[in-house]
Amino acid sequence: MATEKKTPPPSAVGIVQSQDFHFGDSPEDVLQLDCGRTLRSVTIRYETYGKLNAEKTNAILVEHALTGDAHLAGYHTENDRKPGWWDAVVGPGRPFDTDKYFIICSNILGGCSGSTGPSSIDPDTGEPYRMNFPVITIADMVRAQKRLIDHLGIKKLMAVVGGSMGGMLANQWPILYPETVGSVISIATAIQITAQSIAFNWVGREAIMADPGWKNGNYTEQPQKGLAIARMLAHITYLSDESMSNKFGRALQSSTDYSFNFNSDFRVESYLNYQGNSFVERFDANSYLYITRAIDYFDVSLDHDGDYKKAFQHVKCPYLIVSFSSDWLFPEYHSRGLAKMLVENGNDVTFCNIQSGYGHDAFLLEYETLGKLMTGFLSNISQEVIG
């Protein structure tokens, strides 16, 4: 297994611009939510790459993970230090080939990177929603995205692609809209999360809400300590024992001996502090609460009498399903079970468990191996759809 850090290729996309789609200003256009409430005046932030063909048949929707955003690839300005979060697979000749496909990525409902979420202004009060924002589900996020796809005039997506929470969205799409999805690429994900994952999310939320700076969600400055701890806890689940051992071992941060106090002696401790503190600068604490709760509630069988086969009975599109050998957050059995069920459902399914030491983060880091799988799969799909 290779765990050495890989250097991604240079960005092939260049400068990109975010766009906003707005809906829900009239009573008949509001977004109905699973919790029974509605949302009006909804904004979805999105980015696109490549060109939509005349028939509008070459569109691929890419879903981001929990703390991601619409900035999939390229740079917003020439001064940006880093490109979008999956830049290595977007561009001419890459898996998401912008010479062939029209790539769409949107910030999810409930997010904090341009789409309507807890930090947005409630049109009924003129103040931020904060904890008055309704509790949302993965299905609600998909319904909001469907409005965007309709706005773009796309009747059928060539593919919906996602890893981690993005894979949950990808799996939810054809269940809600079977006629709108041509294929699915489901990566390092599940169709319901386990008690262990729910437990990690619970502890993370408790850390945020126990921070005095949270103020029942009415903060003006981020509850820094609580949000940083939540991020540190989650980040541990994204790595593997092998990757952490190879990267840090028991190496000390700045000396050859223990400090005999409770500051960060070990490199791994300093690394987690950095991850937590940098996260506070870019993500909203209340959004973290709402999104992790949506992940907890995710179970595609809920509206189908607890029957997973029934949930997929109308889903007939091809699937590429990928897991990673060292991913203990979403182990192989999740993906293998989904593949088996879809085969029994009559779907054309390709399943691969990639050998990797990166843990859950492999879905972002194994871009070469994963990219080859996606390139071949999308090529076959495009030949059927586009010709």
Q: What are the tens digits of pLDDT across the range 18-41?
A: 999 999 999 999 999 999 999 999
Q: pLDDT at position 109, please?
A: 98
pTM of the model: 0.96
Question: What is the total residue count of the chain?
Answer: 387
Residue 288's φ and ψ, nearest 5 degrees, are: -60, -40
Q: Are 275 and 235 in contact (CB under 8 A)?
A: yes
Torsion 79-85-88-90 (CA) sign: negative
Q: pLDDT at position 3, please?
A: 52
Catalytic residue among 284, 360, 361, 382: 360
Q: pLDDT at position 228, please?
A: 98
Alpha-carbon separation of residue 330 from 105, 164, 263 (angstroms): 23, 8, 32
Q: pLDDT at position 385, please?
A: 76
Q: pLDDT at position 1, please?
A: 41
Q: What is the 3-state secondary structure (H, E, C) of 289-311?
A: HHHHHHHHHCECCHHHCCCHHHH
* 360 given a catalytic annotation: yes
Partners of 60 in the β-ladder: 103, 159
CATH of domain 19-192+298-385: 3.40.50.1820
* 243 given a catalytic annotation: no
Q: pLDDT at position 369, please?
A: 97
Catalytic residue among 69, 265, 284, 327: 327
CATH class of 199-290: mainly alpha
Strands (E), the chain: 19-23, 31-32, 38-39, 42-49, 59-63, 102-106, 159-163, 184-187, 319-324, 349-354
Those residues of the chain that have pLDDT short of 70 are 1-5, 387
Domain edges within the chain: 19-192+298-385, 199-290
* 197 given a catalytic annotation: no
Catalytic residue among 11, 113, 120, 164: 164
